[in-house]
Amino acid sequence: MQSDLWNHALALYARPGVEAACLELQRQGGDVCLLLCATWLQARAVPFSDERAHVLQGCAGRWQREVVAPLRSLRQQWREAAGSDSQLALLREQLKGMELQAEKTLLHRLQVCAAQWPCGSSAGAGDWLARLAPGSARGHDALDRLRAAARAYQEAEDEV
């Protein structure tokens, strides 16, 4: 099992179908970093509680709104124009790097929030994904695909 959230997120995101599922969940209003954190907590068998969910949502919310989302929005706004403007394309790539760094920072902050929570609970973790997904994404096929990919990834890690 990946011990830190960043490496867990990178490895899971690279699995087939995960990127598409995450982007669909993002369109549904989901915070991909929070959802990847949910899969990490699930894999670590960290018991779920509403209080813990609120801590994570509080940690992610402001950073997502004030840092990640504006970078993403600007990068997306430049997509078409960057196709015919090489200088803008270069700036857009730099912006993409900043967005990734902002997401990495958010994942680190989420990991710090969860650092003191016990893991390996024999009682099970509960369904972190269902609880941290926005209401519009609950029951959505993309959430099921992410859950299945996370489960398959965890099973592969457990075999190692």
Give the pLDDT score at 124. Answer: 65
Q: What is the mean pLDDT of residues 106-134?
A: 88
Total-model pTM: 0.92
Q: In this predicted structure, what is the pLDDT of residue 132? A: 93
The whole-angstrom separation of Cα 43 and Cα 48 is 12
Give the helix ranges, DSSP H, for the chain: 5-13, 18-27, 32-43, 50-63, 69-77, 79-82, 86-114, 128-132, 141-159
Work out the number of other CB atoms within 10 angstroms of the CB of residue 158.
9
Structure confidence at residue 1 (pLDDT): 46
Residues 6 or more apart whose Cβ sits within 8 Å of residue 14? none
Least confident of 7-11, 107-111, 134-138: 134-138
Is residue 2 scored above 60 in pLDDT? no
The answer to whether residues 56 and 39 touch, using CB atoms and an 8 Å cutoff, is no
Which tops the pLDDT comparison, 135 or 160? 135
